[in-house]
Amino acid sequence: MHILFVISCTFCKGALHFNLIANITQSMSNYCEHIHNSNFSLSKGEGRGEAGGKMPQSDIVVSLKGVSAAYNNKTVLHDVDLNIYKNDFLGIIGPNGGGKTTLIKTILGLLRPTAGSIRFFEEGKPVNSLTIGYLPQYSSVDKKFPICVEEVILSGLSSKRSLTGRFTQEQREKARETIIRMGLEGLEKRPIGQLSGGQLQRVLLGRAVISDPHLLILDEPSTYIDKHFEARLYELLIEINKDCAIVLVSHDIGTVLQNVKSIACVNETLDYHPDTGITSEWLEKNFHCPIEILGHGTIPHRVLGKHER
């Protein structure tokens, strides 16, 4: 099967600063070891329960059915069923080591599932290509790499460059609009090593959305940024969500619940909740320990209850 992914990926340690785009073929294994041939089976999907009724089939963007994944022959994720819909804002929570990042890698095609199927759709029809924006964890970014803000954001359009390898004037204008949208005016030529944590997150977010993705995936986006910018980040995401689906992975349960539309807990498998009205019992079942959510002003807290000895 010929599958095309356009992934706004990370500046991997020691890697070149290009947008990872791949015709998923054998030749790509020499291009970037992050991308693997993803021969996903095509099978009929089912609707997912939502608050107020089921979402229509035509709104599905990504569908996972019975997906399992493993590292070194050890299964870390099993029997995952999930539909992601247009304009979805899905929060993914779960304990450390529960499989959240593994789930992301599987959706992105960076890790081949050991079982199940992953399918992609546009307007209700199966497609062989999907544009996915990806904001990696802050710690995976090489801030010493010699590249400026404008170049980072433009790299999100690398797959659309002309045969000469140059960006068009229209693409540069789109980068300028994205810089303004991210509130980065005046920083266009600044090296990323001179940016604050919040500024760098906005740069990477701009890189992820400049290609107008069908789906935006964010892995712990609020790590290493202060609460002031965290609020601005979620404002940007709510705006972006008008144009594409969002999957957000975070350990910060309270903040996630205040901003997303639906929630899923990943702890070796996936337990989906169609809205954010979850209970302490639901959290305890999925985290395997007592948890309560408390709100204090605009800053939510996660509280661990007393554990059984």
Task: CATH number of the domain at 232, please.
Answer: 3.40.50.300
The answer to the question of residue 294 being in a domain is no
Query: In the structure encoding, which two tokens stand for residue 47, read together?
Result: 């609707």
pLDDT in tens, 257-305: 888 999 999 999 999 988 777 767 767 776 665 555 544 344 444 443 4
The answer to the question of residue 206 being in a domain is yes
The confidence band for 192, taking pLDDT boundaries of 50, 70 and 90, is very high
Contact present, 156 and 149 (Cβ < 8 Å)? no
Q: Residue 16's closest CA among 108, 159, 142, 105?
A: 142
The answer to the question of residue 148 being in a domain is yes
Supply the pLDDT for residue 114: 96
Hey, what amino acid is at 309?
Answer: R
The answer to the question of residue 204 being in a domain is yes
The answer to the question of residue 28 being in a domain is yes
The answer to the question of residue 299 being in a domain is no
pLDDT at 12 over 50: no
Counting the structural domains of the chain, the total is: 1
The answer to the question of residue 290 being in a domain is no
Q: Strands 262-266, 89-93: parallel, antiparallel or unpaired by DSSP?
A: parallel
pLDDT in tens, 40-82: 333 333 333 333 346 777 899 999 999 999 999 999 999 999 9
In which domain, by residue range, is 181 found? 4-46+54-277
Q: Which residue has the higher pLDDT, 163 or 112?
A: 112
pLDDT at 14 over 90: no
The answer to the question of residue 291 being in a domain is no
